[in-house]
Amino acid sequence: MMFRLFVAAIICYLLFIQFANAQFKYPASRKEPFDTVIYGKKISDEYFWMSRKENAEEVKEFSTQQGGFAQTILDSIPGTEIIMKEWE
């Protein structure tokens, strides 16, 4: 248990060092103005369009891009093979 905590702490430290000053190119997503009032409070949500059924394919493509972006970052973390070996 202590070893796993130690490994997790090391990974967090390495992540901080590696990504502290990194400039990422996030997948682009369109913005569409949407305003509503809920319980008297105005709410603006430029990504509300993602909740509409007719935009499902576009949202799926965006999610795939986001997943690929996240996987690229995760794959660049050193020492993950140690964790995988520990959890097997």
User: What is the rounded distance in angstroms from the CA atom of residue 88 to the CA atom of residue 85?
Assistant: 5
CA 16 to chain centre: 16
Does residue 87 surpass a pLDDT of 80? no
pLDDT digits (tens, 9 = 90+) for 21-70: 667 888 999 999 999 999 999 999 999 999 999 999 999 999 999 999 99
When comparing pLDDT for 83 and 25, which is higher? 25
Residue among 78, 76, 79 at smallest CA distance from 68: 76
Torsion of Cα atoms, 53 then 59 then 61 then 62, to 10°: 180
Identify the band that residue 5 occupies on the pLDDT scale cut at 50, 70 and 90. confident
Separation between Cα atoms, residue 50 and residue 53, nearest integer Å:
8
Domain borders along the chain are 2-87
Mean pLDDT, residues 68-81: 85
